[in-house]
Amino acid sequence: MSINRSIHSYFHQFKVKKSSKKNLLSLLPATFLAACGSGSGSTPVNTDTGVDPAPPPVEPDFTEDPVGTFTARDSSDGLVLSQESSTTVLTVLGREGADQITTGSASDIIRGEGGDDVITSGAGSDLILPGSGADTVNAGSGNDVIVLIGVTSADQYGQESITSPSGQSTDLSSLLDLSDLNDQATSDAVSGEAISGESGTDTLVIYGEVDITSIALESLETLWLNSAVTLTDSQFEGFSRLAGDGTSSLVVMTQTGGTFDLSEKTITDVESLSFSEAVTLNLTDDSDVSGISSISSEGGISISIGQGTMALETIITRIDDLDVITLSEEAVLDLSGITTENLDQEFIINGAGQLVFTSTQLADPESLAGLIVDPDMTFVDENGNSIDPTIAGVDVIMTIPAGSDELPIASVSSVVVQESAETSSVVISLSARYSETATVAYRLSDGTEGSVTFAPNEYEKSLTFNWLDDSEVEASFAFEITLTEQSTIPVSSDAGGVVVLDDDSSSLDVSDSRLAATVVSASEDIASVISVAGDEDWFKVDLSAGQYSIKLSGDLVDAATKGDILLFLSDADGNEISSGDLSANGLLSINATVESAGTYYLRTVGTETAVGDYTISIGTVTSLQSASEGALDLPESVDTTGSIAVGETVTGTIASSADEDWYGVFLEAGSIYQVDMTGEASGGGSLVDPYVRAVYDSDGNALPTVYNDDGGFSPDGSSGDYEVSFLFQPTESGIYYISAGGWASGTYSLSVDDVSNDFDTDLPLGPTNKESIPYVDSIGRSGDDRVDSLLYGTRYQQDQDGTQTTLTWSFSSEGNFSRRSGGYSGSDSPDEGGDEPDVNFSELTTAQKAIFLDIIDMVENYTNIDFVQVADIASTETSPGSAGDIRIGWSGKTGTDAAAWAYLPNGWLYDGDIWLFSENLSSDPERPYLGFVMLHELGHALGLKHSFEEEGAGIAIDPNFDSVEYTVMSYTDSVEFGSRAVADLYPTTLMYYDILALQYIYGESEVNPENTTYTFDGTEQYYMTLWDTGGVDTIDFVNQLSGVNIDLSGSQWSDVNTTVNYYQFGDFVGNKTATLFIPEEVDIENVIGTDEDDRIKGGDQDNVLEGQGGADMLAGGAGQDSLTGGTGGDTFITALGEGVSEKGDADLVFDFTDGEDLIGLIDLTYEDLTLESDDGDTLIKDDNGQILFILDDVDSSQLDSNDFVVLQTDWYEN
């Protein structure tokens, strides 16, 4: 595979013509036919006869002109139209007088205009506009629509309010026009008006601001409101369906205590519904209120849910002024989406129904603070399991009904505030809502007495205290409150009050009274200050049963004198459980066993010289059983609660080889300290093989010269007997951390002693370069099981500046081999196994070295490791010699089944050594297994374990991915063909999980930031993971002899004409043809195919895909892609959802040939498409107008259904 660092950038430019089209909808207004009245004049006399002429005929009250349209003669009262027997559609137009209009059985149109009209329609579905005046409407037995118009403004309504009032499908343009609706100064609805729907489904339509409380309504089922309407409670009850226009509002004038069943109504698009008095609303599910944006009441709203499931979020979002929600036994209230942020109303939830809490709410003790519920309800989680609602901050308060013998109990709260606040309040609360009046008496610490009175159902009262702030540093003070027996209900004996903290020192203080101890969490650090000599701080904390280690650290100074502070743990009654004294070392830890869960108090007391800041950390809890065995588990970080004083010995327990205990210790600069860790060998415990991982500074950085196991590299060169002893001389005073561990489980003893008097000079600095000894750090889990399944748990340390990790490496040779003092024993007996370098030692050949050099370069390319090759310098009697942190050589060691092994980073002197065993491993560099073994063992040398083992990070890999296809640290060649299958080809690179794990351990490196071309030659085999995270990159298959299947869509395998065959006991069992893995983190932009039939699928990038010769299938996927098929009948593939709105963002097909190439459709058909010509190109659009493809220089008229083919979503695999 060759890499071309400078490649051609593919791009295509085209012109985009911008056009603007408007869809014009012409609305023609409806007009009414108006009949003109005849004029009046003198009648001529017949002078020939001398006889007066006959009087003119009497003009009818309503004139019919044209046929079917009746218009009132004039505006006089009493005009009558009697057409009750008519069966044809009539249009009736009244005038300003009081008309009497009766129509027949057809669907008539009636306008009463002015006057107190009486309108009676027949059996048809009539449209009626009574007009102004106290009209009486009897709508008959049809499905009639009656319209009332109130006060409106100019241009308030548009034509759509007539053609589809309140969004309905009924067109009223034959009855109304905009001049009827807009700019009306008075309302048509007046006192004395009566509207009856008779039988049928009748609708009242209202425009404008209307008060219809003085109108008599009867037998009307539907109300369409396009405005603000005020109506009575009985009128509201009479409508079963109410529809608004999205801005409509309803005001219901109610009687106190009224009840309305919204579950029996259908209400849509109403912006607000308000009630004038307190009401109860009956509901069954969210749809009962989903059509109303806001519901309110001046007197408060009670909700009654008789059955079904409702979401509380729906209720509080749409209903204001909530007082209570009552659930029947069959009702369920879902609390999803409820937090303290949207609980902006105070109400109570009671009844016998079920409350459902989410897991998120139950995980947060404050998530539902302020929600009040009745204890008689059922509380469950999302899975139906019973829970305690108080863990989510819910207030469970019962209601005591009238006449009950039970009484609530009064109690008073405590608060802590800063002096600068100058005011604060405490709450006197009742344990239950009480239906009668109650009085609670109290006495203040200065002897003042008083009382508060609770109205029925009231359960909280506040008392406010004021004081003046000053600038003096002083102790805190308190307003203490005691409830007295003069109360009319029982009271709690616990006192409460306001504790005022002095805030005039440089740091804020907390309460010095157990009465108002500051509430803290055991899971968080507690920071405070000793503000003045003799100051005390009290903290209140809830603890579970178990053993605790509580650490106090700080810098308490008065002038240059070290301060002294005491730490106490006591139970809820103030009985001391444990205590300690912080003397001159600046670090204090107390251990305590808590017998039962409950409330406990921490108290700090400063002596006369103690002034300053401090921090308390409450350590990890263990069970009482473990605590009784002394198995207190300490954190493996600076957050540890373990501490040790100089001259002290502590004991502990290592649970497994992965466990470590960290202890903080205060050390003085220049002093020399001896650290000893003992176990079974000397009687210090049961741990067979203890070690000290490192000594860390106060920030948790490992000090590079400190690691000890079995004596390790101690200053005098001696080795221990599976126990630890070393000297350490800090250069700065402060807190350091010692990490104690072991290679098995068991108990140990750890001690730190000042031995400065035993030395006349400072200690030598010890080894300072990694060619002498490798230094290691612990590394924790990443949280990604793919990574953690490969972590042994240690790594080589970063360089001092923290920018990278520099590792030296070397090729071992027999004549120049460093044993590095304390390492290999020198045994060369094959019968005893012998040490690796002492049994037929040999150096790698030039060809074998070339393989390892490629592997070193590859790992350096992937990670933030800087590999530096050094010489392996032989050990002598006077010098231990030196070598690389990593080195590799051949050994003739016998008695092992291993092909090779490597030493993991553990702090041993031979960590990183890789040994290839000539007895079991072919040395032929042409055999693929040799390079794979080198990959595997280098992984170990850098801190990777076997994928299937649980040691180290404690996680084994998912069995579905436990093969060399995903990690070279696996022993399995193929998951598909089983653990006994043996492959004839192995990966030549680190695989996906290996790269992720090494990047987690040592950091990432930007791989190939330049534009890179990867050429896959047809004469080679490729079983690999491609990793490239920079530049615009190309994969070139032009020299391949067969077609390829390439998938850039993320973490997919591609077929690059390499086959891995698998055998079991010599029998062929199957093969793998997809051997190139491209992870989702890798962006490959361009692919050049072969001259054969290729399948190429793009990714999320802007891909340039070229098929070359053959019948290729090309799919760009997401991004703006350019597709070129080349010679041969190609298929260009697009899918539903891949379309874009702008031409400049669309996929471009360069060489589509009609009659030869095809457009492949996934989840689409030809009928879903639109083909448009655009500037000489063809745009292929889906049925949403989104552009799927641009066919360059193709006329759309050339295309038909024969140019398209429907494909399955698995086209690539099949």
DSSP string, 624-670: HHHHHTT-----SSTT---B--TT-EEEEEE-STT-EEEEEEEE-TT
Do residues 595 and 691 both lie within one domain? no
pLDDT at 183: 94
Cα–Cα distance measured from residue 143 to residue 202, given in angstroms and rounded to the nearest whole number:
5
Residue 58 maps to a domain: no
Q: How confident is the model at residue 241 (pLDDT cuts 50, 70, 90)?
A: very high
pTM, to two decimals: 0.47
pLDDT, tens digit, 9 for 90 and up, residues 873-913: 776 666 666 778 899 998 888 877 888 989 888 766 678 89
Report which of residues 507 and 15 the model is more confident about.
507
Q: In angstroms, rounded to a whole number, what is the distance separating the alpha carbons of residues 503 and 253? A: 55
Percent of the chain with pLDDT over 90: 46
**DSSP code per residue over 422-436:** -EEEEEEEESEEESS
d(CA 237, CA 225): 15
Q: Where are the alpha helices (DSSP H) in 1100-1201?
A: none
HEC profile of 557-574: EECCEECCEEEEEECCCC
Residues 1134 and 1022 in one domain: yes
The domain boundary residue, chosen from 566, 597, 627:
627
Please identify which residue in the block is written with the tokens 């603000």: 228
The last residue of a domain, from among 442, 468, 501: 501
Higher-pLDDT residue of 1176 and 659 is 1176
CA distance 284 to 1053: 54
What is the per-residue pLDDT for 558?
A: 38
Whether residue 676 sits in one domain with residue 590: no
Q: Do residues 725 and 675 make contact, with C-beta atoms less than 8 angstroms apart?
A: yes
Residue 280 near residue 304 (C-beta atoms within 8 A): yes
**442-469 pLDDT, tens digit each:** 999 888 999 999 888 788 888 999 988 8
Residue 881 has a CB neighbour count (10 Å cut-off) of 19
Separation CA 819–CA 881 (nearest Å):
7
* pLDDT of 992 strictly over 90: yes
pLDDT at 106: 93
| pLDDT at residue 398 in the model | 75
Is residue 165 one of the residues assigned to a domain?
Answer: no
Burial letters 941-967, b for 16+ CB under 10 A, else e: bbbbbbbbbeebbebbbeeebbbbbbb
Taking 70 as the threshold, does the pLDDT of residue 645 lie above it?
Answer: yes
How many whole angstroms separate alpha carbon 241 and alpha carbon 1203? 54
Mean pLDDT over 292-297 rounds to 94
Task: Assign residue 826 the CATH number of its domain.
Answer: 3.40.390.10
Residue 751 structural domain: 633-759
Mean pLDDT of the chain: 82
The DSSP-derived string for 1048-1105 is: -SSSEEEB-S--EEEEETTEEEEEE---EEE-TT----EEE--SS--EEE--SS--EE
pLDDT recorded at residue 189? 92
312 lies in a domain?
Answer: no
CA nearest 435: which of 457, 458, 467? Answer: 457
- pLDDT over threshold 70, residue 45: no
Q: Is the peptide bond before 66 cis (omega within 30 degrees of 0)?
A: yes
Query: Which tens digit of pLDDT belongs to each residue from 931-953?
Result: 999 999 999 999 999 999 887 66
pLDDT band at 57 (very low <50, low <70, confident <90, very high): low
Does 256 score more than 60 pLDDT? yes
CATH code, domain with 489: 2.60.40.2030
pLDDT at 667 over 60: yes
**Is residue 947 located within the same domain as residue 800?**
yes
Q: Are residues 740 and 610 in the same domain?
A: no
Name the residue with tokens 């202890």: 663
In DSSP notation, 435-450 reads SS-EEEEEEETTS-EE
Taking 3-state DSSP, the helix, strand and coil percentages for the chain, each rounded to the nearest 5, stand at: 10, 35, 55
What average pLDDT does the segment 1128-1148 reach?
A: 93
Closest CA to 373 of 353, 359, 358: 353
Asked whether residue 213 is assigned to any structural domain, the reply reads: no
Same domain, 734 and 755: yes
973 vs 404, residue with greater confidence: 973
Does 907 share its domain with 970? yes
Other C-beta atoms closer than 10 Å to the C-beta of 437 total: 11
Q: Between these two residues, 54 and 1144, which has the higher pLDDT value?
A: 1144
pLDDT for the residue 292:
95
| 797 and 929 inside one domain | yes
CA 685 – CA 584 distance, rounded (Å): 30
Same domain, 856 and 908: yes
- 851 and 962 together in one domain: yes
Residue 386 has what DSSP assignment? B
Q: What is the pLDDT of residue 884?
A: 85
- The burial class, CB within 10 Å (0-12 / 13-18 / 19+), for 514 is middle
State how beta strands 565-570 and 598-606 pair: antiparallel
Q: How many domains does the chain have?
A: 5
**Which carries the bigger pLDDT value, residue 1033 or residue 40?**
1033
pLDDT, tens digit, for every residue of 514-527?
665 778 888 788 87
Residue 57 within any structural domain of the chain: no
Instruction: Judge if 650 and 600 occupy the same domain.
Output: no
Do residues 287 and 265 touch, judged by C-beta distance below 8 A?
no
Answer with the residue of higher pLDDT: 626 or 986.
986
Structure tokens at 1164: 């689409």
CATH code for the domain in which residue 695 is found: 2.60.120.380
* Residue 818 DSSP one-character state: -
Q: How far is CA 538 from CA 340, 445, 504, 515, 600, in A?
A: 29, 20, 19, 9, 10
**Whether residue 560 has pLDDT greater than 70:** no
- Residue where one domain finishes, among candidates 501, 535, 567: 501
User: Looking at the domain assignment, is residue 1161 inside a domain?
Assistant: yes
Token digits of residue 665:
């210790």
Highest averaged pLDDT of the listed ranges 24-33, 411-420, 470-479: 411-420
Q: Which of 910 and 315 is assigned the larger pLDDT?
A: 315
Report d(CA 861, CA 942) in Å as an integer.
15
Q: pLDDT, tens digit, for every residue of 842-885? A: 889 999 999 999 999 999 999 999 999 988 877 666 666 677 88
Give me the pLDDT at residue 519, please: 81
The CA-atom distances, in angstroms, between 799 and each of 20, 775, 1166 are: 62, 10, 63
* Residue 445 sits in the same domain as residue 477: yes
Half-sphere exposure of 46 (CA within 13 A, CB side): 8
pLDDT for residue 399 is more than 90: no
What per-residue confidence (pLDDT) applies to 1096? 96
Specify the range with the lowest mean pLDDT, choosing from 210-224, 555-569, 592-606, 1094-1108: 555-569
Amino acid at 423: T
**Mind listing the pLDDT tens digit for each residue in 727-786?**
788 888 777 889 888 877 889 999 999 888 877 666 544 333 333 334 677 777 888 999
d(C-alpha 414, C-alpha 495), whole Å: 8
Give a yes or no: residue 577 inside a domain. yes
Tell me phi and psi for residue 1191, to 5 degrees.
-90, 110
Residue 144 in any domain: the answer is no
CATH number, domain containing residue 1047: 2.150.10.10
Residue 914 has pLDDT above 50, yes or no: yes
**Spatial separation of the C-alpha atoms in residues 131 and 95, rounded to whole Å:** 10
pLDDT by residue (tens digit) across 81-140?
Answer: 999 999 999 999 999 999 999 999 999 999 999 999 999 998 889 999 999 999 999 998
What pLDDT is attached to residue 759?
72
> Pairing mode, if any, of strands 322-327 and 348-351?
parallel
Let me know: does 1105 contact 1122? Beta carbons within 8 Å.
yes
Tell me how long the chain is. 1214
Contacts of 951 (CB under 8 A, 6+ apart): 657, 658, 792, 945
DSSP, res 336: T
> Do the beta carbons of residue 458 and residue 489 sit within 8 Å?
no
The amino acid sitting at 802 is G
